[in-house]
Structure 1
């Protein structure tokens, strides 16, 4: 009998793995609706939807291994080891470009915010990080300055919205699947590129080589700071550790 493995679990949702089947439990049906519809629309490999019975969505595992994981070099041993070769990163870049060139989805996206809304949220979050003693003021101030470059107008594209490194699966130099589409919608292309390279700056060149030109690296670095600043407190409050080596706080420290 296959054992049940908890992939991720917090107060908003949980994902379990039983053999080659993933069970996603989410009481927010809008989030599941987006995930199912996005996977049907995008021109990149995605998991097969096996069945759906709210609040549970069952999807098949994708072949290959994760590109890497946040907090560890992509060449490090893990439960899903990956060589994360330059070819794999370039293939990921090419797949992301395909996504970004697809027709816009008919929905705007969950929690989509423009530059002004992001700036207001970032200012409030930075204040909380300092007043609550979560991060030192100089670290927050420096990264807030860097994040400013991401707060500019952008042309919306079809974005994944949560393109973490362990959401991209590869086999050699081929992308075999991209998972977890619940945050998909219209957004900034460079946000996706920043999310997948968060904590793995050494592979940014390989990713961009596959993605193509017209990429502003300073904006990607700004998104690293912005995403990390906005994420630290949420992660702490939901039982995750952004202070682990290579994770969000280390990303912020690397900007100093």
Structure 2
């Protein structure tokens, strides 16, 4: 049997930060793609599949993004490709998952995305994949209540034409907040050159239409309107319903505006 995520985290700490190897390892969270631990002042994130290439690419991506955006992103202390581990000093604040949007969240994220999406996609060549973001492909293996699936299947939009460097998983769990201010944007492991609508979809799923409208206004508007955003948000909510836990609970609360 292969090493557990905890064992790989401990091995990477022993190799790259031996002063923290004996401080204890506290689990912060466990998702579909990563497990995260806390050791000393570091977040130690372990890719589920030991993805060394992904770890190396994310470290390069974070350096690129940090030079252009106006919100903090992780600053990598070390990466271990063989163990699939990325470590960075913990940013202040708590994830917004399951919590209401602080005042001005939409404006803050809209400005952030305007800067992120202005990065020349060529600068991310070889760092992140280029994804077609074909809406119909989101229906593959999508599950959920039959009446909601009928709505999604009956509202598949045309693909968007624009391609930008996107976070592509910008949900509440990846937005940190303290004292009403956004203090960081974390977990860039799904970043891609893709449809900009993806970066608004989970914002809409998690915080509703008012925050989305505020974000789009600060962003300067999205060509093609909100149809793709709504579609991707609905698909993401159904995925989280199937996943369960805190993500499923948050998705269940969003159904009132996603499927009015």
TM-score tier by shorter-chain length is 0.7 to 0.9
**Which residue, 156, 160, 163 being the options, matches 2:163?**
156
Of residues 160, 173, 195, the one that matches 1:166 is: 173
The aligned counterpart of 1:36 is 59
Alpha-carbon distance in 1 for matches of 2:113, 2:33: 27
Distance of aligned partners of 1:107 and 1:145 in 2 relative to their CA distance in 1, 3 Å threshold = farther
Aligned-pair distance for 1:193?
Answer: 1.1
Question: How many pairs does the alignment contain?
Answer: 226
Root-mean-square deviation (Å): 2.8
In structure 2, do the counterparts of structure 1 residues 93 and 109 end up closer, same or farther at CA, with 3 Å as the change threshold?
A: same
Which runs of 5 or more residues in structure 2 are unaligned?
1-21
Change (3 A) 1:13 1:213: closer
Q: Which runs of 5+ in 1 are unaligned?
A: 75-83, 130-134
Give the structure-1-normalised TM-score.
0.75
**RCO greater where, 1 or 2, for CA within 8 Å and sep 6 or more?**
1
1:17-59 deviation digits (Å, cap 9, x = unpaired):
2343100112011221221111011112321111223422211
1:1-256 to structure 2, matched below 5 A, reads 4-9=25-30, 12-26=33-47, 27-42=50-65, 43-44=68-69, 45-54=72-81, 55=83, 56-66=85-95, 68-69=96-97, 71-74=98-101, 84-86=102-104, 88-104=105-121, 105-107=124-126, 109-110=128-129, 112-115=131-134, 118-122=135-139, 124-126=140-142, 129=143, 135-146=144-155, 148-149=156-157, 151-170=158-177, 175-201=182-208, 202-214=210-222, 216-233=225-242, 235-236=243-244, 240=245, 242-244=247-249, 246-247=250-251, 249-252=252-255, 254=257, 255-256=259-260
Q: Matched residues in 1 for 2:178 and 2:212: separation?
A: 19
Q: In structure 1, the residue corresponding to 2:150 is in which secondary structure?
A: helix
